[in-house]
Amino acid sequence: MLTYREFMENSFKPLGIYREEFLPGLDSSCYKVTCDDQMVAIFRLTEALPGSMFHQIIPDSNARRIIEVNNVAVEKNYRGELLLGIILRNCALLSHQKGCDAVAGVVRYDVLPYFVDFGTIPVLHEPFHLLGDPKIDDYITYFMTGSRDNVEYAVARGYHYFHRKILMSNIKADVKRRRRETR
């Protein structure tokens, strides 16, 4: 099985976004998602230092503990929206377990709608250009996790999305089947 670092390199280098400084430090917790004994996704959590960009941009967060999620990478064959929802739900649960008030991340504009679909809150701010490319806009998005109610919202939002996607997939298959039968 690949190591966290190998998986990250394999995921980010083809996209031109791999940087050595993205590697986890000693203060990070790294996680992997496996399916059939294969690593299919990774992410890491690192507590944001007081005064971080998250504290500066997320409303009313100056005195709050924020944990940053980053290095979210999903193997090409598993880049469906459902796996992202599982990862985001787990980030909210882990943030709450660690006693943090919020879990936040920086997300490229192109994939931001997927995160928002699962209930993360995007922040309107001047975009970052963390990769040094002015054409790639990055935004902060977050879940509040300080109370169990906030976490239950994140979990319920994920379940609602899962149910909707599975139900719509089943309906689509049923419509295709009936159309074939009526030909």
Taking the C-alpha atoms of residue 31 and residue 132, their distance in angstroms, rounded to an integer, is 27
Query: Nearest to residue 151, comparing CAs of 86, 97, 70, 104?
Result: 97
Q: What is the 3-state secondary structure (H, E, C) of 65-104?
A: CEEEEEEEEECHHHCCHHHHHHHHHHHHHHHHHCCCCEEE
The CATH number given to whatever domain includes residue 81 is 3.40.630.30
Residue 98: the pLDDT is: 94
Residue 81: the pLDDT is: 63
Model confidence over 100-145: pLDDT tens digits? 999 999 998 988 988 888 889 999 999 999 877 888 899 999 999 9
Model confidence over 149-176: pLDDT tens digits? 989 988 888 788 778 878 888 999 999 9
In degrees and rounded to multiples of 5, residue 58 shows phi and psi of -75, 125
Residue 124: the pLDDT is: 95
Q: Count of domains in the chain?
A: 1
Cβ neighbours around 166 below 10 Å, total: 11
Query: Nearest to residue 68, comparing CAs of 40, 99, 28, 32?
Result: 28
Is the model's pLDDT at 44 over the cut of 90?
A: yes
Is the model's pLDDT at 15 over the cut of 90?
A: no
Query: Nearest to residue 140, comparing CAs of 128, 157, 158?
Result: 128
Full residue range of the structural domain in which residue 134 is found: 4-181
Nearest 5 degrees, angle CA 55-CA 8-CA 38? 120
